Structure 1
Amino acid sequence: MGESLARAQREHWERTYRAHPGMYGERPSESAEYAATVFRPGGTVLELGAGHGRDALFLARCGFTVVAADFSPVGLAQLAERAAADGLAVRTLVQDVREPLGLPDGSVDAVYAHMLFCMALSTAELEALVAEVRRVLRPGGTLVYTVRHTGDAHYGAGTGHGDDIWEHGGFAVHFFPAELVDRLATGWTPPRTEPFEEGDLPRRLWRVTQRRPD
């Protein structure tokens, strides 16, 4: 993906978080509630694309040690303020997922990403990201991610950037075909892919669960 689109998306999210703190509300997503049931109890969870933190805070309340990563310092500052107010130990990490993850090898038990993989990331960037996720996961660790797919109502709408990336309302989304899910699971346990819907459109998504082999 072009650097200009990446920069524009980062700036767009920064403006959005400044204008709408807590834009997704206080309740965790259904995907975070699911993840809490499949991750090893009490383990360390890396959330990619944590935003202002509704899911990271929920996972911390469930007893997980949480590292909340996002490329938006504004969103992470909102998250850190809420975590401190609630007495939750959540570490924040400013992270562009196009770059190597700022964590040691085998340092987390699980990785969670709600709609981060379907941001404006090319297929090559996604493959590099999944390789980094595998690196930081301990053997047997679990990855749960959600993505909008090519059956979504916004697929093909707005401005096309190639590689199934479409920009609509200022937000660029990589809509996943089934083949991409399988491609990103190469070398992992077979992915469990479950369809679900979210929001008023509604957005049509897949929730993918896969594990790094022992």
Structure 2
Amino acid sequence: MADDGQELGEAQRAHWQQTYTAHPGMYGEQPSAPAVHAAAVFRAVGATDVLELGAGHGRDALYFAREGFTVRATDFSPVGLEQLRGSARDQGVAGRVTTVVHDVREPLPLPDDSVDAVFAHMLLCMALSTGEIHAAVGEIRRVLRPGGVFVYTVRHTGDAHYGAGTSHGDDIYEHGGFAVHFFPRDLVEALADGWSLEEVHAFEEGDLPRRLWRITQTLPR
């Protein structure tokens, strides 16, 4: 699985590089619904700085910045982040946004207890093994301050594409040339061990439609 997972990860990196190059700003300027929800959650707990993982070309990171948060945006696509920086300048929020090229399979380049909130929309359900997902959430826990909030979304095993296409094991299925790790509920529960699991909200997105969970969990103070 390790070699297969490495190949899948590199294939996804190439996919997004090519996609952002061919379709700049492909998701538009409007934030995702989960980002709008997350901003309200972050504001309610007094967060001022947000780390977004898998920011892409930045529609959500830019929304957080426009809402007054200081944003650190990461992605493994330099092309996407270049577009994000350009949009930040155009929107007058460049002073509140920093970007870092980062692969979520690697440790976060941030010190312990350095951010108030973390957001990740459909990042953890990419072609990551269960072990890599646990490691990523461990890194998120490390960089969050006590009382910090983590809001993330994932496709789950109730999705129409679960079980379809090519199986890579570990609930990872490749469909249409793209691999997804579909989350069972017990994985959500395991990732919240030691946190306060505030909400698991089911919603749909896109034309299939994709079926997702929006999860909110908080670190103890």
- My pick for the range that moved more, 37-46 or 174-183, is 37-46
Does 2:88 match 1:83? yes
Aligned-CA RMSD value = 1.0
Alignment match, 1:47: 52
SS in 2 for 1:39: helix
How far off its partner does 1:174 sit? 0.5
Structure 2 unpaired stretches of 5+: none
Structure 1 unpaired stretches of 5+: none
> Please, which of 17, 21, 33 is the counterpart of residue 14 of structure 1?
17
Alignment match, 1:183: 190
Q: What letter matches 2:149 in structure 1?
A: T
Give matches, 1:1-214, under 5 Å. Answer: 1=2, 2-40=5-43, 41=46, 43-88=48-93, 89-214=96-221
Q: Is the 8 A contact 2:47 2:117 kept in 1?
A: no
How does the TM-score come out when normalised to structure 2? Answer: 0.94
How far off its partner does 1:77 sit? 0.4
How does the TM-score come out when normalised to structure 1? Answer: 0.97
How far off its partner does 1:22 sit? 1.1
Q: What letter matches 1:47 in structure 2?
A: E
Q: Is the 8 A contact 1:197 1:205 kept in 2?
A: yes
> How high is the sequence identity, in percent, across the aligned residues?
69
Deviations 1:169-196 (CA, angstroms, capped at 9, x unpaired): 2221110000000010011113410100
Q: How many residues align?
A: 214
Q: After the TM superposition, which segments of 4 or more aligned residues of structure 1 sit over 2 Å from their partners? A: none
- Alignment partners' CA distance in 2, 1:31 and 1:82: 20
How far off its partner does 1:167 sit? 1.2
Q: What letter matches 1:82 in structure 2?
A: S
Q: What letter matches 1:46 in structure 2?
A: L
Q: What letter matches 2:41 in structure 1?
A: V
SS in 2 for 1:51: coil
